[in-house]
Amino acid sequence: MGTVHAKESNMFRNINGSSSNEKENFKEDNPSLHFHEKMNLLERKKGQAVDLHLKARVDRIHVDGLIRTKDDIIKAQVTELFKAQDFYDIIIHAYKVREKLQDLGCFGNIGIYIDTSHGPHATPEGVEVTFMVNEMRRLTGGISTMVGNNEGSVIVQAKAPNLFGRGERLQMEYSYGSKSSTNISMSVVKPFMGSSRHKILTGSVFNTSNRFPWSGFSQCDKGLLIDLAFNPDGTGILKHNLQYEATYREIISSKQMSFRVREQCGPNLKSALRHICSIDKRDSLIFPTTGSLVQFSTEVAGLGGDIGFVKNELTVQTNWTPHEYATFQMGFQSGLLRGISNDMKINIADQFFLGGPLNLRGFDMRGCGPRLDGNSLGGNAYWALALHLYTPLPFRPGRHSFGDLFKLHGFINGGNVSNFTFKFANDYKENMKIFKEDVRCAVGGGIAMKFGNIARVELNLVMPLLFVRNDVLQQFQFGIGLQYL
């Protein structure tokens, strides 16, 4: 597949043996720096300087190791490599292509080899790129344990990747928690890679149960989620998700609950459309040093079912690193929930809650906002703002390895959640009430750790500054989770 051409006949490069670890490193460090290092290595070996901006042309691309995977989706992934103008371009593009191939979820290790091209059709400055891929087995699975939300759970996963040769996969996950909560989900993923626009369609069925002792109820969900994800620019920075969710939710009362919560018990059906648009220019998910994230989501429930509302949420995060040892981070979240008609209910499960060790620190889970009889009722509008200053561990133990998983941080966060009636009239004062009255605020510091590059663990000592009599305060907090403020 593709054509070959070579210029420097003895130029053979194994740029990367590709393991996920190395991929991470690449993502976090300055990419160009990394490249230079690699190139320098090569230079030394060869004993001659390589001009990275040397003109080069990709004559031919090989993909080795394909068995089940269909050619068309591979072609769609690799064609962008032919656009490369010089050698530097080729390397950058090769990395991108490798990432794309990996995103297909069909391959284990992917190796890249670049060689000068040979043969009758070789152009003078042509190179030949070879991707060595390793297809995954038909069925993979695993058992793992997880601790989170004060509960330990066992997760059994099974995955059938690349079912029909075009990246389709079937996933199944079952988790059983120590507090007898079970989650089962089964999803079918179908990527559409044909055009330049990258679409992934996911359909999943799930059955989850969660307990919310802070609000006095537990919730049992059975539902269906169809998600279409696409990034129009193809770079992965701007992302849209269009989702449809139909969920049968049952609110189950706990022994002692406020009557207000009890009134909401019972089954309900939520049928909702959701649009999530995010622009993520951050360099890392958990400890970013630069770049910012803007995410806007809109949810409209009420297409059938008995739950009806419009919910808007905005999440902003921006990072700034003036010095190697100091990173400032500002995070802001806000949301607004409105009913659409009197026939449609809004359940307590749809409300916004604030507080928790990774949320509004200094308050217990769902620790602030409207409460009754010790149960948090939630509000229909909220905002929260947090300002962090991160530094690496003092004296940098375990630098470039284990020590980089930890950071110290100091923060000040604040926010408010309340029931808010939006007035369209020019009642500015009334509408700004949520930002002025009963604002909660806390300062603190602690240690944060990243966990598998997706989760975050924090241990903080916090001092609440502003709070309301009803709020549940916590001075010492330990939190683990995927999302954070």
Partner 1 sequence: MPYPLLADSITLELEAQEPWPQLITLYQPYEVEQILLPDNANCLAVQAFLKMCGLDFQIEPRSNAEYMSPSGRVPFIKCGQFLISDFDSIVTFIGNKGTSLSDHLSANCKADMRAYISLVNNIFINAELYICWVDETTLNEVTKIRHGSVYPWPLNHYLNWQKRKEVIKKLNVLGWYNKTLEEVCNEVQNCCTALSERLEGSDYFSGEKPTEVDALVYGHICALSMINPSLPRTVQKITATVQEFPKLLEHASRIGRNYLNNCMLESACDFEMCASSSKETLWNYSESIEALPPLSEDSFEILLLNP
Contact positions vs partner 1 (CB under 8 A): 216, 248, 250-253, 255-260, 262-263, 265-269, 304-306, 372-375
**Least distance from partner 1 to the Cβ atom of residue 262, Å:** 5
Closer residue to partner 1 in complex, CB, 255/469: 255
φ/ψ of residue 434, rounded to 5: -65, -25
Closer residue to partner 1 in complex, CB, 101/272: 272
Closer residue to partner 1 in complex, CB, 188/265: 265
φ/ψ of residue 72, rounded to 5: -60, -40
**Least distance from partner 1 to the Cβ atom of residue 258, Å:** 6
Closer residue to partner 1 in complex, CB, 306/404: 306
**Least distance from partner 1 to the Cβ atom of residue 266, Å:** 3
φ/ψ of residue 80, rounded to 5: -65, -20
Q: What is the DSSP string of 30-50?
A: -HHHHHHHHHHHHHHHHTS--
3-state secondary structure (DSSP) of residue 29: coil
Residue with tokens 């490369």: 84
Strands 57-64 and 126-135: parallel
φ/ψ of residue 71, rounded to 5: -65, -40
**Least distance from partner 1 to the Cβ atom of residue 396, Å:** 50
**Least distance from partner 1 to the Cβ atom of residue 338, Å:** 20
**Least distance from partner 1 to the Cβ atom of residue 182, Å:** 18
Query: What's the CA gap between 271 and 306, in Å, rounded?
Result: 8
Query: What's the CA gap between 450 and 273, in Å, rounded?
Result: 33
From residue 234, alpha-carbon distances to 25, 97, 108 in Å are: 23, 12, 23
Closer residue to partner 1 in complex, CB, 268/477: 268
The first and second tokens of residue 480, run together, are: 């683990």
Q: At what angle do helices 71-78 and 87-103 cross, to 10 degrees?
A: 140
Query: What's the CA gap between 360 and 156, in Å, rounded?
Result: 32
The first and second tokens of residue 204, run together, are: 């999943």
Closer residue to partner 1 in complex, CB, 79/182: 182
Closer residue to partner 1 in complex, CB, 255/400: 255
Query: What's the CA gap between 72 and 75, in Å, rounded?
Result: 5
**Least distance from partner 1 to the Cβ atom of residue 255, Å:** 6
**Least distance from partner 1 to the Cβ atom of residue 298, Å:** 22
Closer residue to partner 1 in complex, CB, 24/263: 263
**Least distance from partner 1 to the Cβ atom of residue 229, Å:** 27
3-state secondary structure (DSSP) of residue 294: strand
Q: Compute the Cα dihedral for 264, 266, 269, 272 and give only its sign.
A: positive
Closer residue to partner 1 in complex, CB, 253/298: 253
Query: What's the CA gap between 10 and 30, in Å, rounded?
Result: 29
Closer residue to partner 1 in complex, CB, 43/263: 263
**Least distance from partner 1 to the Cβ atom of residue 251, Å:** 8
Query: What number of residues does the chain have?
Result: 485
Query: What's the CA gap between 370 and 20, in Å, rounded?
Result: 45
